[in-house]
Structure 1
Amino acid sequence: MHVKELFDLKDQVALITGGGRGLGKQIAEAYAEMGCHLALCSRKKEVCEETAEIFRNKYNVIAKSYELDVTNESMVEDVVNQVLEDFGKIDILVNNSGATWGAPVEEMPLEAWNKVLNVNVTGTFLMSRAVGRHMIERKSGKIINIASAAGLTVRPPEITNTIGYTTSKAAVIHFTKDLAIKWARHNIHVNAIAPGMFRTKMTKGTLEQKEKEILERIPLRKIGDENMLKGAALYLATKASDFVTGTVLSVDGGSTL
């Protein structure tokens, strides 16, 4: 097989949560460029639709948008069923929707803790379960969970003070490994990407305040840009990773070393 075929996604279908902007949009573009059709989901459907329209015109793929709260069980089931009706299949699931909350541990409201855990952990479970049933029937699938370098290490409060987020991403990493061994018999590959610091809406405030200190902790001395996650996301979605499951691929400039 030619190496280009290993990374081809022509006529595959990817469901990406939080796919309208940030890291989800970057991943969606990488897939669209390789011929993949897109189902982009988030609570803000209009943002997903704007992105879908761009990719439809730019890459000549089918791209549709869906309103989705990943913590709502019935909504998850309905949207997955609608995507299956619209596209006929789901080859790739990217669990990218995420939430964070910055506060000292002793001041963090329970409501904030629950919100972060529900979106990042429960949402990943609900999406994986709903799409996984379809993948089990087909005996094929790629699930990519967007974890975080923050789930692999700890930092002093002067750098990050988001214990709900870091705990949730550590949970996503373990969920990835456990699900990988459960579903390997169904030829479903389950892997995670652990991004470090990227320039997104979620990190804008932190970078404005602490970019110098953050850069000092990144061996490559750079912040992730709009292209640096694409290769990892493409690798884990394609035939190139057919002998890889249960792994966590850090894309963090060396910050977790």
Structure 2
Amino acid sequence: MSNLYDLSGKVAIVTGASSGLGADAARAYAEAGADVALFARRADKLANVAKEIEAMGRKALAIAVDVANEEQVKSGIQQVVETFGKVDILLNNAGIAVPGGVEDLTEAQWDQGMDVNVKGPFLMSKYVVPLMRKAKYGKIVNVASVNAIIADKVPVLWRHNYNASKDGVRGLTLGMAASYAQDNITVNSIGPGLFESEMTENTLFKNEGFLQAYNASTPASRPGKRGELNGTILFFSSDASSYVTGQYVAVDGGASIV
């Protein structure tokens, strides 16, 4: 039986690839056989991830891109096509969490969260989808959040912009999935629960009270570990999910079911 998760000969773009879950996913793609284009704002950190991927025997292309900047996105994708000739997989992973409730958020803070979390996947898809439609093949995976479907009543943990923007990612996934299935393009989203990353390690992971409450309320009784998101990402990025589109899968240790 062929390996349904084999990505040999595929080209993947990963946004937010300079660290954390994005860098982990980029390495997982390389391990599965794909060449990887790495997008993020910090060129130095991208270069380090690129070296790791090349050491695995795969090709890597690191490009400094702000996913909320259309010209940078367009230029970056052009460089990927010039280098690899195609784009088979797009992982829209870049995201930020702006703390605060609607009473406290400034308009600039609101726009910042929406720009990165929603406009980013929109712009990336805008320039990748035509390539996939022409090739009659594509896998788009949008990283939403468990906070797209659950929220927190404790004021210190209010993140209304994050709730709204990540649910927007789910909505974008649905619309694109319905529109492009006939082009052999699948579009799915993932809702990570609490994982250690740059976004959480200096905030939530240093809040002992929060961690105790999270562990007590989550069926798995712990946050996610490094690499535990990769299996779902590879499923949605490979032919193992050839007849799956428009879906949202929470990878949260059961946090969203209780």
1:16 aligned counterpart, secondary structure: strand
Does the 8 A contact of 1:104 with 1:157 survive in 2?
no
Q: Deviations over 1:12-58 (max 9, x none)?
A: 1100001121110111111111111010010111111111101211x
186, 191, 215: which one pairs with 1:189? Answer: 186
21, 35, 38: which one pairs with 2:36? Answer: 38
Quote the Cα distance in structure 1 between the aligned partners of 2:205 and 2:179.
38
Quote the Cα distance in structure 1 between the aligned partners of 2:53 and 2:134.
30
What stretches of structure 1 of length at least 5 have no aligned partner?
A: none
Residue 94 (1) aligns with residue 97 (2)? no
1:133 to partner: Cα distance: 0.9
**Larger displacement relative to structure 2 (228-237 or 212-221):** 212-221
Q: Deviations over 1:83-129 (max 9, x none)?
A: 00011111000000101111233111111110000110011101011
Quote the Cα distance in structure 2 between the aligned partners of 1:160 and 1:6.
40
1:158 to partner: Cα distance: 4.3
Task: State how 1:174-253 maps to structure 2 within 5 Å.
Answer: 174-204=171-201, 205-209=203-207, 210-253=210-253
Determine the structure 2 residue equivalent to 1:64: 61
Letter in 1 for 2:51: E
Instruction: List, as ranges, runs of 4+ consecutive aligned residues in structure 1 with deviation greater than 2 Å.
Output: 157-160
Determine the structure 2 residue equivalent to 1:154: 151
1:159 to partner: Cα distance: 6.4
Quote the Cα distance in structure 1 between the aligned partners of 2:176 and 2:53.
31
Does the 8 A contact of 2:37 with 2:61 survive in 1?
yes
Quote the Cα distance in structure 2 between the aligned partners of 1:51 and 1:158.
37
Quote the Cα distance in structure 1 between the aligned partners of 2:143 and 2:79.
23
Does the 8 A contact of 1:196 with 1:255 survive in 2?
yes
Letter in 2 for 1:29: R
1:215 to partner: Cα distance: 1.4
What stretches of structure 2 of length at least 5 have no aligned partner?
A: none
Q: Deviations over 1:168-205 (max 9, x none)?
A: 00010011011100111111000011100001110121
TM-score (norm 1): 0.96
Q: Deviations over 1:202-226 (max 9, x none)?
A: 0121121121112122111011111
Does the 8 A contact of 2:35 with 2:59 survive in 1?
yes
1:203 aligned counterpart, secondary structure: helix
Determine the structure 2 residue equivalent to 1:112: 109
Taking only aligned residues, the RMSD between alpha carbons, in angstroms, comes to 1.0
Letter in 2 for 1:32: A
1:155 aligned counterpart, secondary structure: coil
